[in-house]
Amino acid sequence: MTGNKAVAYKEPGKVEVINVDYPTFELKDGPGVNPANVGRPVNHGVILKTVATNICGSDQHMVRGRTTAPPDLVLGHEITGEVVEVGRDVEFIKVGDICSVPFNIACGRCRNCKERKTGICLNVNPDRPGSAYGYVDMGGWVGGQANYVLVPYADWNLLKFPDKDQALAKMMDLTMLSDIFPTGFHGAVTAGVGVGSTVYVAGAGPVGLAAATSAHLLGAAVVIVGDMNADRLAQARTFGCETVDLTKGGPAEQIEQILGVPEVDCGVDAVGFEARGHGQGASEAPATVLNSLMEITAAGGALGIPGLYVTGDPGGIDEAAKKGALSLSLGTGWAKSLSFTTGQCPVMKYNRQLMMAILNDKVSIAKNVNAKAISLEDAPKGYAEFDAGAATKYVLNPNGYLS
């Protein structure tokens, strides 16, 4: 039997690399697995040997103890891999194919999947619509920060790269297709970014930088990124973004200094529920980003909200926040006729087009998010550095494919 190691959440602030079972074509019981999913046959799936798997800010929420994730939950929903085994019902994906795995797990059969709403598939998670690998309350599908991982509904879910050698050469860019590049793109698209737009992106983490990259790709005239982390703001400036330092106060005045008016056409929330207030030493205030975006987005505009919000947060600042209930100035949004789009990005809606942009040298997403390959064994260090604010997107290299 082939060995398998994986990165697992142990307790708040701690992850470990542990030994786990090699995948089989059946969903087994384990940490976070919904009992209704135990024993579920996956003959429509494949087993991947992981080429690259990334540390995500969404993982970090769990690692900080800000969700109800159980100990020993195997992490990782950003997965790219080489097919090493195929289930008996797989028709088109073959052994040896290198594929990107959308972080959304989708059946391809339900009403939502047929409407391209793969982030809210109705058949893969008994708890609620929508599922993902290695994530709390998402059905219990084992995460991909491991040597090997099972991918269900493979013919539907996998994006096969057209040329293996080309894919490996561009892997640091292509690995972003599983989540952050489509997610950032979704944030920009749903915010209404187009040719000549002025855009404000709240958050200069990897998703925020991916949203800023996407805004440029969509033809924005000015892209402004706001954050409190000087290194991350500096990273945004490396590819042509204007920046707002939120330690100096709210974004409106600084946006006016850049644009001549204190508002933008389009707003993107790439922060989510652990948002802080504005100003030096500001404390956590989870509605801050959403409320400030409503203030600075022009009337009739739109907000793209790829930042994660949850219904269970043990570390919430009050009882309402622990249930995901925030003090939103919805009246502001209503008065300005603003549109809102929330929820998981439907990755399959965008990933092929973004793959083509990467393969044809139209975008350098790895450079823009400052991607860095590290070993699986160094994952705990990567998590700690990322949590401390490193302006880096950490890409795990479990099987030595990456240089």
Q: What does the pLDDT look like over 138-180, one tens digit per residue?
A: 999 999 999 999 999 999 999 999 999 999 999 999 999 999 9
Residue 241: CATH number of its domain: 3.40.50.720
Q: What does the pLDDT look like over 312-369, one tens digit per residue?
A: 889 999 999 999 999 999 999 999 999 999 999 999 999 999 999 999 999 999 999 9
Whether residue 89 is contained in a domain is answered as yes
Range of the domain at 161: 5-179+346-396
Q: What does the pLDDT look like over 280-291, one tens digit per residue?
A: 989 999 999 999
State the total domains in the chain.
2
167 and 211 part of one domain: no
Residue 78: CATH number of its domain: 3.90.180.10
Average pLDDT on 66-70 reads 92
171 and 236 part of one domain: no
Whether residue 402 is contained in a domain is answered as no
Whether residue 154 is contained in a domain is answered as yes
Whether residue 116 is contained in a domain is answered as yes
Whether residue 93 is contained in a domain is answered as yes
Whether residue 310 is contained in a domain is answered as yes
Residue 2: pLDDT above 90? Answer: no
76 and 61 part of one domain: yes
Whether residue 330 is contained in a domain is answered as yes
Query: Do the Cβ atoms of 383 and 63 come closer than 8 Å?
Result: yes
373 and 273 part of one domain: no
Whether residue 87 is contained in a domain is answered as yes
190 and 155 part of one domain: no
317 and 273 part of one domain: yes
pLDDT bucket at 1, cuts 50 / 70 / 90 = low
Please give the mean pLDDT across all residues of the chain: 96
- The alpha carbon of residue 12 and the mean position of all alpha carbons in its chain are separated, in whole angstroms, by 20
174 and 100 part of one domain: yes
11 and 156 part of one domain: yes
Q: What does the pLDDT look like over 246-257, one tens digit per residue?
A: 999 999 999 999
Q: What does the pLDDT look like over 107-141, one tens digit per residue?
A: 999 999 999 999 999 999 999 999 999 999 999 99
**Where does residue 59 rank: exposed (0-12), middle (13-18), buried (19+ CB within 10 A)?**
buried
Residue where one domain finishes, among candidates 341, 364, 385: 341
Query: Closest by alpha carbon to 119, among 108, 104, 109?
Result: 104
What is the DSSP annotation of 68-122? -PPTTEEP---EEEEEEEE-TT--S--TT-EEEE-SB---S-SHHHHTT-GGG-S
- What pLDDT does residue 150 have? 98
Query: Closest by alpha carbon to 19, among 5, 39, 1?
Result: 5
322 and 372 part of one domain: no
Average pLDDT on 68-92 reads 97
State how far the Cα of 297 lies from the Cα of 279, in Å rounded to an integer.
Answer: 20
pLDDT bucket at 10, cuts 50 / 70 / 90 = very high
Q: What does the pLDDT look like over 192-224, one tens digit per residue?
A: 999 999 999 999 999 999 999 999 999 999 999
